A = this chain, B = another copy of it.
Amino acid sequence: MPPAPVAREKVLEAFATILVTQGERAATLEAVAAQAGVSKGGLLYHFASKQALVDGLLGRLVDLAAADVIEMRSAPAGPVDHFLRTSAQSDTDFDRVYVAVTRLPQDTYPQARAALDEAHRGWQAAVLDAVGDPVLARAVVLMGDGLYLEASRTGDWDADSRSRRRTDAHVDELLALVDRISGATGAPADGRSEGATAG
């Protein structure tokens, strides 16, 4: 086997990072290559065009989203806890890629919208199974999106998460709120959403 294509992963990661921190404008092939520590020619070897680069990022998103839903459903503290807690983070691969795709123009890349919708369907279904009520499930998913947006505003995308604890406390309160509602509205189907909310 020839040398493992290490550049491909690095390029995708760099693309997402630049999209999030500096925006679509700054995400040029050269800038991405430089961030990845790869030459421009090396980048173009793996992704023959910018469209191919975007497609690669979208593929990565659907993979990570599928993995995230599986992780959600088997999370010890329940899907809701896992979902909201990770939504508030900004230091994992998945968060970075998700927000990166959010920054892409949805009109120019219709597949970006499709990928985001697919991720949402997975979340929605998992949360619904946990809380029972469709309206509450929708509210939870919306709050998750709000947390993503908040995290993307607040920044901290490469710093070593100094403000994590503060954000986590806020999420704890939200989880407690969801627990109260879900307890009052109807019995949860299977998700143990009251496990580790640290009241």
Contacts and interface: CB of A to CB of B under 8 A. Distances in A.
Interface of A: 21-26, 102-108, 113, 116-117, 135-136, 138-139, 141-150, 152-153, 155, 170, 173-174, 176-177, 180-181, 184
Contact of A146 (B24, B146, B155): B146
Contacts of A145: 142, 145-146, 149-150
A115 to B, nearest CB: 11
Given A24-B25, A135-B176, A145-B150, 20 more contacts: A21-B107, A23-B24, A23-B107, A25-B105, A26-B105, A106-B152, A106-B155, A135-B173, A135-B177, A138-B170, A142-B143, A142-B146, A142-B150, A143-B146, A144-B146, A145-B145, A145-B146, A146-B149, A148-B149, A180-B184
B25 A174 contact: no
Contacts of A25: 24-25, 105, 108
Contacts of A102: 149
A21 B142 CA distance: 22
B22 A107 contact: yes
Nearest to A174: B139
Interface majority SS (helix, strand, loop, mixed), chain A = helix
30 contacts: A23-B108, A24-B24, A24-B105, A25-B105, A26-B108, A103-B103, A106-B152, A106-B155, A107-B155, A116-B153, A135-B173, A135-B176, A135-B177, A136-B177, A138-B170, A138-B173, A138-B174, A139-B174, A142-B142, A142-B145, A142-B174, A143-B143, A143-B146, A144-B146, A145-B146, A145-B149, A145-B150, A146-B149, A148-B149, A181-B181
A29 to B, nearest CB: 13
Given A23-B24, A25-B24, A117 B153 contact: yes
